[in-house]
Amino acid sequence: MIQTQTDKRPRVVIVSEFVDATRNSTGYYWRKIIEGLARAGSEVVVVSTEQSCALAAPFGPNISCRSTALGQHSRNGGVKSYLFGQVQLALGLALQTWRVLRRGDVLYCGTNPSFLLVILALFRLMLGFRWVLLVHDVFPENAAAAGLTSPRSLKYRLAKAVFDRTYSAADALIAIGQDMLEVLQRKTRGKAQIEVIPNWADVREISTSLSPDDKPMVDRSRADAVIFQYFGNFGRVQGLELLLDAIRMVEHPAAEFVFIGDGALAGQVQQFVAQHPERRVRCLPSLEFGRNNEGLLACDVAMISLMPGMFGLAVPSKAYFSMAADKPLLVIGDVGAELQKMVSDHKELGWFCPAGDPRALARLIEQICDFDLSSIRGCPRRFMERNHDWKQAIRRYVAVLWPDTCR
C-alpha cells in the first residue's frame, strides 16, 4: 500500500486515449498511475475512449470513468484519415473533460493527442484548475525529427509557436529525462515549472524467467548464441535503417537478432530478413501487452534505438521494462541523452553507441558477443528496484500534483 499524507486533496481528472494495460505501454502507465493515485487517497475521474474504458474496467474505489466514442477508428486509413481521427478524438475527450471539470480540480494528462492540448489550454484560461502535463513527446519537434515536416516550413513554425505557448500554459510539466528537461526549458523559455520523473515499471509484475507453462519465443538450441532484440514500434524515429545497416556488417558467428513489433517500417524489416537469411535475423509480429514479459525475455541483450536528432524528444519506455526483466541494454542514440547517461554512469546496465554510425555499432555488437554476460546478471533488475519502481514514481507524481499537501 502506498503511504502518503492523508490530507484532503483536490480531485484529479486524468485524460488519456489509453487507460487500459492490455494494448500498449501508454495504457499501462496511465492505468498504474490511476491506481496509484487512488490508493494514495485521491478521488480520480478518468476521461478516455469507450474502448479503453471498457478494457480497463472494473476500476477500483475512488475511480470513475467518462468516455467518448469519437476518433476510435482513426488509425486504419492514411495520414489524412489519421489526422481527422485525431481531431475527432481531441474534440471528444475535450467535451467529456469540460463536462466533469470543476474549479479547484487538478487536470493531469499526457501529450497525445496533440490537438487536445490547445483546447485544454483554453479551458485553463476559463476555469480555475491546476494543469499538470506529463510529457512523453514534444510536438511539433518530434514530427520534424520523423521527417514529416521541415523545421523551415511555415506550418512547422506556426505549429511550434502555438504549442510553445500551449506547453507554457500548464502549471507544471513532467519531463521523463534530463535531456527532455533541456528541450522543454527552451520551448517554454523558462516560464514553466518542470520536474523530472523518469520512466519506471512495476517490477513485481515483470518476471526474469519464463513460467513452466510458457514456450520460449526464440530458439535457444545454440548454446553460444547471443540474441540481440529490438522489441516495440517499428517507427520512423527509431533508427531502424541504421540498425539494419549495422546488422549487415556484423561478422561474429554468435550474433543473432530478433525483431518483435509492427509499425511504419515493418515491411522494410521483413524484406531485410527475407533477403539476408545468412544473418540469423527473425521478425515476429507484435504482442498483446499482456504477453509483454514473454517478449522481454526473448533475448540476451535489448537494443534500444533512436535516430540521430532525437535528443530530448523521447525516452523509450521499453528500456525500463527490459531492465526490469534483467536484460542489459545496447543503447543507440544521441550523446547526452537520458539513456546514454544512464548506461555510461552505470556500466553494469549495458553499452552505448552514437546513432548514425552503423560500422561502430557492428563492432560493438561483436565485442558484446565476446563479453561474459553472466558477470552483470541481476544488475539491471536491482537498478530498477532501487531507482525506477512504480511506488517511487507515484510518490513523486503526488508531490507535483498536490504540492501544498506534501510539504
pLDDT at 75: 52
pTM for this predicted structure = 0.93
User: Mean of the pLDDT values across residues 354-377?
Assistant: 98
**Lowest mean pLDDT segment, chosen from 15-24, 206-215, 229-238:** 206-215
In this structure, what are the phi and psi dihedrals at residue 68, rounded to the nearest 5 degrees?
-130, 150
| pLDDT greater than 80 at residue 121 | yes
Which grid cell is 327? Answer: 536484460
CA–CA separation, 135 and 200 (whole Å): 14
Q: How confident is the model at residue 1 (pLDDT cuts 50, 70, 90)?
A: very low
pLDDT at 3: 39
pLDDT in tens, 85-112: 889 999 999 999 999 999 999 999 999 9
Residues 247 and 283: beta-carbon distance below 8 Å: no
CA–CA separation, 80 and 87 (whole Å): 11
| pLDDT greater than 50 at residue 156 | yes
CA–CA separation, 263 and 283 (whole Å): 12
User: Mean of the pLDDT values across residues 57-62?
Assistant: 90
pLDDT in tens, 335-364: 999 999 999 999 999 999 999 999 999 999
Domains along the chain with CATH numbers: 12-200+389-405 (3.40.50.2000), 204-386 (3.40.50.2000)
Q: Which amino acid is at 183?
A: V
CA–CA separation, 354 and 35 (whole Å): 38
Alpha helices in 250-291 (DSSP H): 266-275
pLDDT in tens, 179-210: 999 999 999 998 899 999 999 999 999 999 98
